[in-house]
Structure 1
């Protein structure tokens, strides 16, 4: 007998059902290599809803999903929510070992994949295989969360973040209240990851609610991205700084007369990218700042303010700066397990670990960097401590310091004569491609301070390891 789903799960399923039925059947919902109408979307979600029910998935069932970005992925997630399942999203770039680690943490009853893990380059596909695996020993949902996601923590191991159906619907209301968000009939080229909050909620779900058409590019080559944007006549571009850097590289840019809004999220955008894009395309890059734990926090969609400003708080969001760090008001802790809190949620305030300032007269938030080991590369978060721990598991690694200076660099104390290629292969088996260091410096030991702590200053490490280094080199990928 199926468990009764939490009330706000039912509300989320009802919201999806209403959104799917609100648009004309022959209107295009999304376009990539082929166009998908709303009728096609409804039919696919309905078919999957029935198929998942036959497989035993119902209210309160826990389902981990690791699929390549595709129409298949999107209607799988929608069908799962229609069934009242708890959806656990995993990035398609994760290796099998990383997936196993997360599965062991969450213990889902089902795992849905589209093939091999650890894709180096993830591009949008129209359709892909949908493999449903029943897992022995999995547990039904023990909480009211409709969505579980992951975020790196100070220990280098992922934190499990829960979002209730009510939380997702509230965030959709926030997006709807923002001036300039896509409206019915508009086309939105969506470059953001579909497993992360802004791409999934601000992109896919908002478009579903507003009746906007999603556009996906077949690859991330600069000219392909620009041509897709121009040929589709998209009015809105959502992406990460990497997408705008790509567009700035095109030697002979074409006009984009239809484009009225370009928004970057996921990481800080460099002022020079912001300025060059406006010079080349005549439109300012807006910003959407948020985090997995809360969703959208602050926005400047029209790009009125030069980075590092990220805009004013989204409707209903309350923020403050304590000790130079931005904090966000939250009703409950977003972390599924009590030991995940790690002093990040105290007295109703969630620490973002972002160094920030708030301009008192205007309320504009500016973000100036991180207070922990988290870095963002191409819109993807990497906890450098996680990379250090992966290296430290090698039997011939005695210690490791991993830093980021435009690229990930590893300073490693070794024994046994191992080389860069061996360590790269070791990391490849344990870490997603984008987390693997691009430069290694190997020596018998990593220098330490006078009180015995490992040095974490790049210049000091380079100079002090130069004379004792056994192997150094950059990895060509």
Structure 2
């Protein structure tokens, strides 16, 4: 049953002339089915069979999605690797998962130039590769915001269950919807919440060939988009547009990946007339909570979706899973007795079940015998009217990396913190710049060593040393 889904379950939905997606040109479901079948035959000739392990590394394109679906139709395990990784990041992952095949586009590395219609690729067989882990069809990596990514394996039943959770969420896009997808199709929200849910529900996808905000909004108007999926970064950019066409069809905006800033939430609603609705999930299991009614505002995440079993221990969120999602490593600190520790601190309203994000459980440190929550320090910095982004890390001392306008100096931030934090909580070093570095998922980098290296090599920050 599970393998049948990967081959044909979703692809069989809808008529051949139904619209599947729009980018530079529209693509029908019939065209999708034909492309996937042709590639399936090509992969069969190259020896890819049930249980083969295949690493996929391509820039976003319809060809990327065709290849992914065709590999699944052959019963292969597909390892998704972000094309933007540097060799020093990419090569250790290949050594760790040891795929039997690598499917990669020429020039897969480097910055994205937008979503493409077509992409040429090669198939390479690796003689020392190992077959798929039993039952695993999708392999991804954690975002790596606080260290080396974990290897996450999901069987088909896990993704099927996630799609059922999507279908049970009131207000989710359906057959009459056209969804502007800004999330990367290489990661869970873009792939499952976007591509696979749209296939299952009969919604049409709009995948912009460029992420330039003005062109995104014009495409939304031209295609009469009814919904938009994105991250807080996307919504922040859209709110900065000086002018925009009317979007009378737009009924839904959905954000995931990290907490949406209150200011971005308010500005998007004021400019576009639609509140941004939160969804919350993990790469390990997918969608867990959300509210698409338009009544939930940051830091609320919504209630657990039907089919998700969660519990709050202390103030930390746990989710029940049938098996550990981690491959090639012992992660007993994260998965014990069928419960996955999310490391997210939440409050759950006892009356409504709505979850609100408090911060990370692993943001707690001890300084001089006193506990300091780095998330609290970040929130104080973010409350400054000239601060746009902030990451607070701890090595030998607490360090703050702050994105702000040029007029803000470290000395002024120190004064701001002294008024709002006890001395033990005030960062000893400040790095102030125009923009903070982000990882391949668009999330802020949180690994201290990587942050310091990238900040000092890519920009000229104002630095306040030890005080």
TM-score (norm 1): 0.77
Stretch moving more, 301-310 or 72-81? 301-310
What count of residue pairs does the alignment treat as equivalent?
398
SS in 2 for 1:366: strand
Q: Distance in 2 between matches of 1:55 and 1:404?
A: 49
State whether residues 59 and 108 of structure 2, in contact with CA within 8 Å, keep that contact through their aligned partners in structure 1.
no
Tell me, yes or no, if structure 1 residue 124 matches structure 2 residue 140: no
1:452 corresponds to: none
What stretches of structure 1 of length at least 5 have no aligned partner?
1-6, 376-382, 389-398, 408-427, 442-457, 466-477
Provide Cα deviations, 1:247-297, integer angstroms capped at 9, x if missing partner.
Answer: 111112221100111101111101111111111111111111001011001
Partner of 2:5: 12
Q: Does residue 160 of structure 1 match 2:151?
A: yes
* 2:373 is the alignment partner of 1:371: no
Report the 3-state secondary structure (helix = DSSP H, G, I; strand = E; otherwise coil) of the residue aligned with 1:97.
helix
How far apart are 1:384 and its partner, in Å?
10
Match of 1:276 among 267, 270, 273: 267
- Which of 237, 242, 246 is matched with 2:233 structurally? 242
Contact residue 299 and residue 358 of structure 2 kept, 8 A: yes
**Secondary structure of 1:439 counterpart:** helix
The separation in 1 between residues aligned to 2:303 and 2:113, in whole angstroms, is 33
Is the Cα–Cα contact under 8 Å of residues 310 and 366 in structure 1 kept in the other structure? yes
Aligned residue for 1:330?
321
Question: How far apart, CA to CA, are the structure 1 residues paired with 2:293 and 2:401?
Answer: 31
Aligned residue among 6, 12, 16 for 1:25: 16
Instruction: Label 1:358 to 1:51 Cα distance change in 2 as closer, same or farther (>3 A).
Output: same
Contact persistence 1:187–1:214 (CA under 8 A) = yes
Residue 202 of structure 1: how far off its partner (Å): 1.1
Measured after TM superposition, the shift of residue 152 of structure 1 is 5.0
For residue 357 of structure 1, the aligned residue among 347, 353, 357 is 347
Q: How far is 1:21 from its partner?
A: 2.8
What secondary structure is seen at the aligned counterpart in 2 of 1:119?
A: coil
Distance, in Å, in 1 between the alignment partners of 2:282 and 2:164 is 17
* 1:439 is the counterpart of 2:455: yes
Among 328, 333, 345, the alignment partner of 1:343 is 333
Q: 1:464 is paired with a residue of what secondary structure?
A: coil
Corresponding residue number in structure 1 for 2:62 = 71
Q: Give the C-alpha shift of residue 344 in structure 1.
A: 0.7
Cα distance change, pair 112–123 in 1 and its aligned pair in 2 (3 A): same
Whole-angstrom distance in 2 between the partners of 1:144 and 1:168: 12
5+ residue gaps, structure 2, are 364-373, 376-390, 405-436
- Residue 169 of structure 2 contacts residue 305 of structure 2 at CA under 8 Å; is this kept in 1? yes
Q: Is the 8 A contact 2:103 2:124 kept in 1?
A: yes
Work out which of the residue numbers 242, 253, 259 in structure 1 matches 2:244.
Answer: 253
- Whether contact under 8 Å (1:92, 1:122) holds in the other structure is no
Greater shift, 35-44 or 153-162, is seen at 153-162
2:196 match: secondary structure: helix
- Paired residues of 1:320 and 1:327 also in contact (CA < 8 A): yes
